[in-house]
Structure 1
Amino acid sequence: MRVLVVTAVAAEAGAAAAGESAVLPGGYALTRGPVLDAVVAGVGPAAAAAATATALTAAGPGAYGLVVSAGIGGGFVPHAPVGSLVVADAIVAADLGADTPEGFLPVDELGFGRSVHHPPAALSARIAEVLGAAHAPVLTVSTVTGTAERAAALARRHPRAAAEAMEGFGVAEAAAVHGLPVVEIRAVSNAVGPRDRSAWRIGEALDALRGAFRRLTPVLAKEQP
């Protein structure tokens, strides 16, 4: 099974795949590997959706059997410490909705769409087992959490959430339009909470991501689309 991996930045794509380089319509950089192709989408759910849709359209129907949103992200303590891996069992648009006097309402409760995508349960569980990763919700946000108050609010609304990132839901939306399953994998570089760049471990997280794809690629190669 060929897999499209979507990352925000080139360093994440390089951790996921190695091979020939190409440029897609729109200027998106794509790395073509034996099993995995990795596209650099840019930051945020809108950029991720646009790049994913472009890559899938350019490749044509049947080119890929799976789409993976991957990269580094913040981890919710104590579920996902720095350096650990998280595989999503739900991809949640955590700030897509409305604030009300009674609290936050997700967009689906407003009747305007959906706020959750569910990766294939058996596949995501198997990937989590192979990687020794937490298997839990990953939140997609447009604004990275930088305060203890917001971290606590997210944890209250999503008590099982293990990680926060900025692209997964956008990737999932585009994959769904093309009728493809999606998985999200995050390597934790920092704790979700007060913004403290001195505590970030980006290099450690990228190493964890690289190791994850080294172990995962043979597994995905054997999967049937």
Structure 2
Amino acid sequence: MRKILIMTAVDAEREAVKAGIHEGVDVTVELAGVGPAQAAARTAIQLAKQNYDLVINAGIAGGFREKVQLEDIVVSTTIQAADLGADTGEQFIPVEELGFGSSSIECLENEVDRFAELENVFTGRIITKSTVTGTDEEAKRLQVRYDDAVAEGMEGFGVATAAKEFGVPVLEVRAISNYIGKREREKWKIKEALVSLKQVMEVVR
């Protein structure tokens, strides 16, 4: 039986994940905290304690309107640090073009496929930002820059960076609670997204 580490940002996500995991599956669910830096540090601490076969960053997230609906599930094919680079005021230059490393981590196709057969599950690039997008204009710019992106979170690239350093495959699984862009909290569906997150955890094994 393989060992799986799941990192969530907050308690509500952790409880939803734990409630959805089947009995007998060897899964550890821990808090990553909010943001990529804390998520990377806390994931690395867990990976240093014991060996795992897969790391998953799970939680809720904002989705791109053109790609997904509220309460849908998105699964990463690529985990992308969307603000790692340089902003000239006229364009964004990713860290790759600056010659300082990589801003994306690829996910194993067979891990993605475990989820892709379920209803209302969509796959694509999930971007990570330290500052959540709060305008429709920025959402459009991001969608143009990453045309295969389906969602935005705050921890994915941090979790993925730690997993990569330990040589462990990584995946990001998110339930869509709101749309990326102008913040309209009254329209968010956090409780419903947490239910979707719980339900999709039945695939984890």
The 5 Å alignment of 1:113-192 reads 113-130=101-118, 132-192=120-180
Residue number in structure 2 paired with 1:216? 203
Once the two structures are TM-superposed, the CA of residue 128 in structure 1 deviates from its matched residue by 2.0
Q: Report the secondary structure of 1:64's partner residue.
A: coil
Partner of 1:56: 47
Q: What does 1:72-91 align with in structure 2 at a 5 Å threshold?
A: 72-91=60-79
- Provide closer, same or farther for how the CA distance between residues 13 and 131 of structure 1 changes in structure 2, counting only shifts above 3 A: farther
Q: Is the 1:125–1:135 contact (alpha carbons within 8 Å) kept by the matching residues of 2?
A: no
What's the TM-score once normalised by structure 2's chain length? 0.94
Cα offsets for 1:151-172 (capped at 9, x unmatched): 0110110111110000000001
Alignment match, 2:8: 7
Inter-CA distance 200–103: structure 2 relative to 1 (3 Å threshold): same
The answer to whether the Cα contact below 8 Å between 1:131 and 1:212 also exists between their aligned partners in 2 is no
Pair 1:43 & 2:30 matched: no
Judge which range, 9-18 or 84-93, deviates more: 9-18
| Structure 1 residue 102 displacement after superposition | 4.3
2:85 to 64, 77, 97: 97
Structure-1 residue corresponding to 2:94:
106
Does the CA-based 8 Å contact 2:107-2:169 persist in structure 1? yes
- Per the TM alignment, residue 132 of structure 1 is displaced from its structure 2 partner at its CA by 4.2
Cα deviation per residue 1:25-84 (whole Å; 9 max; x = unaligned)? Answer: xxxxxxxx842111111100001100100011122xxx3100001100000012111100
TM-score, normalised relative to structure 1? 0.85
Q: What residue number does 1:22 align with? A: none
1:205: how far off? 0.5
Distance 1:64 1:17 in 2: 17
Runs of 4+ in 1 over 3 A off after TM superposition: none
| Farther-moved stretch of structure 1 (95-104 vs 203-212) | 95-104
Report which structure shows greater RCO (CA 8 Å, sep ≥6): 2
- The CA RMSD measured in Å over matched residues stands at 1.5
How far is the alpha carbon of 1:131 from its aligned partner?
A: 5.7
Taking only the aligned residue pairs, the percentage that are identical comes to 47
Q: Distance in 2 between matches of 1:207 and 1:5?
A: 17
Tell me if the contact between 2:114 and 2:203 (Cα under 8 Å) persists in the aligned partners. no
Structure 2 distance, partners of 1:187, 1:117, is 20
Secondary structure in 2 aligned to 1:77? coil
Mapped to 1, the partners of 2:203 and 2:95 lie a distance apart of: 34
The aligned counterpart of 1:65 is 53
SS at 1:67 equivalent: strand
Distance 1:112 1:125 in 2: 32
Distance in 1 of aligned mates of 2:169 and 2:18: 19
Deviation at 1:108, TM superposition (A): 1.3
How far did 1:87 drift? 0.3
Structure 1 residue 216: Cα displacement: 1.0
Extract unaligned runs of 5+ from structure 1.
19-32, 221-225
CA distance in 1, matches of 2:153, 2:58: 9
